[in-house]
Amino acid sequence: MVFGRAAPLATSLGINFYRGHNTEAVGNWSNPEVSAEIRGLPATADFELKLSDVYLRHGLEAMQEWAPRNS
């Protein structure tokens, strides 16, 4: 309700998902590409949701990269 859209589980979903699923290594928070994207986010009321979206998207992309190699 605060952000005007649903936040699945929590606004930290994306960052926690990415932390465990990224191409750098388990536990790393970001690489230069992700860091640059985050620095480019506007400082608006929904920053946390946008931050979560960035991390979630990159985490999902990493899983898609791994899937064919680990099938």
Whether pLDDT at 1 is above 70: no
Q: Is the pTM of this model over 0.85?
A: no
DSSP letter at 26 equals T
Q: Give pLDDT tens digits for 19-63.
A: 767 776 555 567 888 888 988 989 899 888 898 899 899 989 988
